Structure 1
Amino acid sequence: MFLLTLGVILWAAAHFFKRLAPGLRAPMGDRGKAVVAAAIVASLLMMIFGYRGADFIHVWAPPTWTVHLNNLMMLVAVFVYGMSATKGRLRGKMRHPQLTAVKIWAVAHLLVNGDLASIILFGGMLAWAVASVILINRSEVWVRPAPGEAKKDILLVVITLVLFGVMTAIHAWLGVWPFPG
């Protein structure tokens, strides 16, 4: 549990570094980018190995129907995340599509996982995404990008379905079948 918790904290600290300590970050230049990137990679490894190695400590029993809601929310999360890279009509409809996708992902996983490690991981990532949105909104004025072509949105739907399929295959490979029988 310690490694998992430390990973979540390092993830947040690495992402907040530029916004909360610009005076320390700016003089570091490109070396600072490398330090932050290394911290993010280290935090991901800590979260992965910490989560996989954590003892199962039961906190609550999620109802079985939440699996269906989780799957729907994950499909939406993949789509919303993809909106950050789209050049279609949906471009600019949402200020923080990646962070919104993380929030959807975290809530979806909190709905289906009732153990302490899951609450630390997904709750921690949810808290980080909410805090990130608040920090960004307070520090930057958003200029909404102009919408693009509708055919790019169709491509986004296709990419979303393919990525969702890949993600479910990875879950199955890891021993977590995301679709109840």
Structure 2
Amino acid sequence: MGTGGFTFAYSVLSIGVLTWLISAAGRAPFVSLWYWQPWHNHVVSTIMLVVCLILALAIGRPSPFSLGGSENVAFDPDRPGIVGVMRHPLLAAIAFWALAHVFANGDLAHLIMFGTFAAFAMTGGSIIDRRKKRLMGAEREELRHRVKQSGLSKALLSLMREPIRLLAGAAGYVALIVAHPHLFGVNPIAG
């Protein structure tokens, strides 16, 4: 099956399980924790745009400090991209997505489900850091030091040089808004 085949199969399985979990949470007895307000949609929509942009800037890119990453040997610490802004971009995207959906739903079942995802994403970075430190040793510290030296402003500027990825993130965001009512029965614009 190889690494690519495993990654593909694992991704398909993960999406299937995630779909099942979200569906199950939607069918669970409703225990309200707070009431939905129309302005909630604006907060969640803004956060989800950020999530889509992070994903577009992270997927298929070198990320030697975190999970995933493509062709990590080609990582250039002087042009770190999203890794110069956040060490674990995919985990950050999961955390933002999960917390936004806890906020949007306001019931116990969704708090448990999305809260678990958020907790995993927020604690997963330290687990990955320990593993990468063990696997990469001094090379990891040298790369991290070079990324820090290049500075946040340089990293943010390098993201602006990614118009195709930024457009892909925006397109993914629009696709999610259009698909959301059909997939989950909730219109993220109208509530």
Bin of the TM-score, shorter chain as denominator length: 0.5 to 0.7
| Segment of structure 1 superposing worse, 46-55 or 72-81 | 46-55
| Structure 2 CA distance for partners of 1:39 and 1:173, relative to 1, 3 Å | closer
Find out whether 1:63 has 2:37 as its counterpart: yes
Whether contact under 8 Å (2:92, 2:121) holds in the other structure is: yes
Distance 1:127 1:151 in 2: 30
Distance 2:82 2:97 in 1: 21
Give 1:150 deviation, angstroms: 6.2
Find out whether 1:54 has 2:28 as its counterpart: yes
Find out whether 1:106 has 2:116 as its counterpart: no
Find out whether 1:122 has 2:114 as its counterpart: yes
**Percent of pairs with identical residues:** 27
Distance 2:23 2:159 in 1: 41
Q: Give the equivalent residue in structure 2 for 1:80.
A: 54
Distance 1:111 1:48 in 2: 15
Paired amino acid for 1:171: H
Give TM-score, length-normalised by structure 1.
Answer: 0.68
Q: Give the equivalent residue in structure 1 for 2:172.
A: 163
Structure 1: state its 5+ residue gaps.
1-28
Q: How many corresponding residue pairs?
A: 150
Give 1:39 deviation, angstroms: 6.8
Find out whether 1:180 has 2:171 as its counterpart: no
Distance 1:149 1:179 in 2: 32
Whether contact under 8 Å (2:54, 2:82) holds in the other structure is: no
Give TM-score, length-normalised by structure 2.
Answer: 0.64
Structure 2: state its 5+ residue gaps.
63-78, 134-139
Give 1:99 deviation, angstroms: 0.5
Whether contact under 8 Å (1:67, 1:178) holds in the other structure is: yes
| Structure 2 CA distance for partners of 1:159 and 1:116, relative to 1, 3 Å | same
Q: Give the equivalent residue in structure 1 for 2:83.
A: 92
Aligned residues: CA RMSD: 3.2
Equivalent position SS for 1:129: helix
